[in-house]
A and B are shown apart, each in its own frame.
Chain A
Amino acid sequence: MIEQIIFIVISLFTLMMGWIVVSNNNLFHAALALMASFLGVAGLYVMLDAGFLAMAQLLVYIGAISILIIFAIMLTRRMMQTEESPFNSQPGLAGITAVSVFAVIAFIFWQMREFWPLGAGEGAMPPADKSIILGSVAKLGEYFVSPDAFVLPFEVASVMLLAALIGSIWVAWPKTEDES
């Protein structure tokens, strides 16, 4: 019971902060709400016994990506406080699209709530026992370096990161007229 209350509190917090991110017309406040929303997601990871991922979430999303976004907002600060509407010309259409996507997906999940895992027959299944997922972090580490698991995606991801790094430095480097 307590678990469920905690879950509801964390989820509502995450979603409310998410709503602030997309609706607040002060971008800086939106970025702070984004950090709070990321924190809420980290809380959900903890509830799912994925402590490692919660840490990664803190480090990468809150520690790096959010800070990067805040940097970008401050570097382009004239747009931070604005009286203009934060929305483009079609918030209504956007709202309808978002609500209908949610409705369709939620309907599907609702249909499936009694059948989990799929094909296992009726009755909602509890999550696997904690003893089964013990040591999954060590296994995750092995996965990333074993050829019979994910070493190839791992390498592809590293090449992609390299390309992104070189590219962003190249794009954001100050350009003077005489440089070439």
Chain B
Amino acid sequence: MEFQVPTINILLIAPAAIVAGWGVLLMLIELFISDEAQEQWRQIVPGLALVGLALAFIQTVGLWGYDGGTFILADGHPMIVVDNFATFLNIIFLLTGALTIFISVDFLRRTGLERPEFYMLMLFSISGMMLMGMANDLILVFLALELLSIPLYIMSGLAWPRTDSEESAMKYFLLGAFSSGFLVYGIALTYGATGTTQLPGVMAGIANGGSLALAGAALLLVGFAFKVAAVPFHMWTPDVYQGAPTAVTAFMSVGAKVGGFAAMLRILIIALPGLGDVWAPALAVLSALTLIVGNVVALVQPNIKRMLAYSSIAHAGYILIAVASAPASPDGVSAALFYMFAYLFSNMGAFAVVIAIERKTNEGVMLDDYKGLAKRHLGLALAMAFFMLSLTGVPPTGGFSGKFFVFKAAIEANLIWLTIVGVITSAISGYYYLRVVYTMFMQDGDGEVAAPEALKWTVGFAVLVTAVLGFIPGPWFDIARQAALQGMQMVAGG
């Protein structure tokens, strides 16, 4: 057999490879750390993990504007694609990871959960998320999803032997394994209908696939609906988010959700545009259900983490509006991307404040614990109020701009009824978000607030970005627009 020089552009896969490789490297180093040095090692691991993320970030930003793929298969389609869509999402994932590290270092130390493996598993999970955005082949989507999920199952059980954390891990695992069963069945049927697993090939073959292709697409959607926690596949979310340590909840409420949407968008837009008139209405119905259930159930939650869990379900609904309008509106995908970017900062910021209030694991997470926060720590209270306004969608915040673009895309796609549902549910959501603000400013209470420097800086940064996205959304939306997938056009180029 003759030897061929492999035609791989290693720079393109570098961001994900750096993150995964950095995790392996840290694990190897840990083998050689003596027992005496363990304490120092624990101190520096978060910093080292951040260095890995920063290296990957530099490489990712450098790839902005690049449009191409590597690991080119025999028939000319690349296995992974690096375009602005992937780069934009990679930036979201790396920022999620970095913010999580900043808010969790002190929290994990304070609650006695600090273990170096936490950061290594997180790096693996981030590399899975990044591959979700870049994957151009269903095989890779499936494996990336597992690489994303398996570390998360373990991280949600981080606070063992606390029963709530273990329960959270168990439920997340069972539902995750179950949903990947659906996903992989859907992929198998798609493979049967089209004879290939590459997204461009699927697009070419789907027209002849008949009802088999439809069944495959439906099962794929069910699998992703579980991952992004859309109603009626959301049952696991509140328990998992509430039970997991708050740092992990923050990480998965953004990372896992955006990861699910990343693969969903690429598959729907690149591989299944031909079935658009079937999946778009289905997603619109799913989105309406998600909005209604998420926002209404959140009204009665006395536990902040559980309330934020339902709120994250509701936000999946808003992103789904944008996805559902993608076939008929040119700005559907960019609205989804912008929304996810704004959601990252509002949600991460809100969880940072939750972490500051939380004294021990899962203690101090009730609404009552926020009484009088304005008197105890005005800065945090103001920041929390700002994040709540952003999540509600009040101007001038990033959340408002995100909702504005999503509804605009929905109107362009003639989904007027869905827009109305979205606006009404946003108004409903104001009640439970603003209740937090009311509790913080109008009621009296006491309690410790743990706000170390790293957390304050993170909160400040999140406030800043949320405000910038609120005051001058235009340039940012243009970036999201450059990152949006243009369906058919992409295929021709790729």
Contacts and interface: CB of A to CB of B under 8 A. Distances in A.
Interface of A: 104-105, 108-109, 111-112, 115, 117-119, 146-153, 156-157, 159-160, 162-164, 166-168, 170-171, 175, 180
Interface residues of B, number: 47
Given A148-B73, A171-B157, A166 B27 contact: yes
Contacts of A112: 210-212
Nearest to A157: B143
Given A112-B211, A171-B154, A148 B143 contact: no
Contacts of A164: 150
Interface in B86-141: 112, 115, 117, 120-121, 124-125, 127-128, 131, 137, 139-140
B147 A166 contact: no
Contacts of A157: 143
A119 B209 CA distance: 8
7 contacts: A109-B212, A118-B208, A147-B71, A149-B73, A150-B139, A156-B143, A160-B124
Contacts of B153: 167
Contacts of B7: 147-148
A119 B150 contact: no
Contact of A117 (B6, B20, B195, B214): B195
Contact of B117 (A118, A149, A156, A170): A170
Contact of A118 (B74, B112, B212, B214): B212
Given A118-B212, A153-B139, A148 B80 contact: no
A38 B73 CA distance: 33
Contacts of A159: 20, 24, 124, 127, 147
B289 interface: no
B13 interface: yes
A148 B71 contact: yes
B146 A118 contact: no
Contacts of A152: 13, 71, 79-80, 140
Contacts of B8: 147
The 3 A-B residue pairs with the shortest CB-CB distance, nearest first, are: A119-B208, A167-B154, A147-B6
B380 interface: no
B146 A160 contact: yes
A175 B160 contact: yes
Contacts of B209: 118
Contacts of A171: 154, 157, 160, 169
Contacts of B208: 118-119
Interface in B28-86: 71-74, 79-80
B150 A167 contact: yes
B71 A104 contact: no
Which residue of B120, B143, B214 has the most chain A CB atoms within 10 A of its CB atom?
B143
A29 to B, nearest CB: 22
A156 B131 contact: yes
Contact of B147 (A148, A163, A175): A163
Contacts of B27: 166
B193 interface: yes
Nearest to B142: A153
Contacts of A163: 121, 124-125, 147, 150-151
Contacts of A117: 195
A166 B116 CA distance: 12
Given A163-B151, A166-B120, 15 more contacts: A104-B215, A108-B214, A109-B212, A111-B211, A112-B211, A112-B212, A118-B210, A146-B6, A152-B80, A153-B79, A153-B143, A156-B128, A159-B124, A167-B153, A170-B115
Nearest to A104: B215
B72 A148 contact: yes
B161 interface: yes
Contacts of B150: 160, 163-164, 167
Given A105-B215, A147-B6, A163-B151, A153 B140 contact: yes
Contact of A156 (B74, B144, B157): B144
Given A108-B215, A166-B117, A175-B160, A151 B71 contact: yes
Given A118-B208, A156-B140, A163-B124, A149 B74 contact: yes
Contacts of B73: 148-149
A162 B74 contact: no
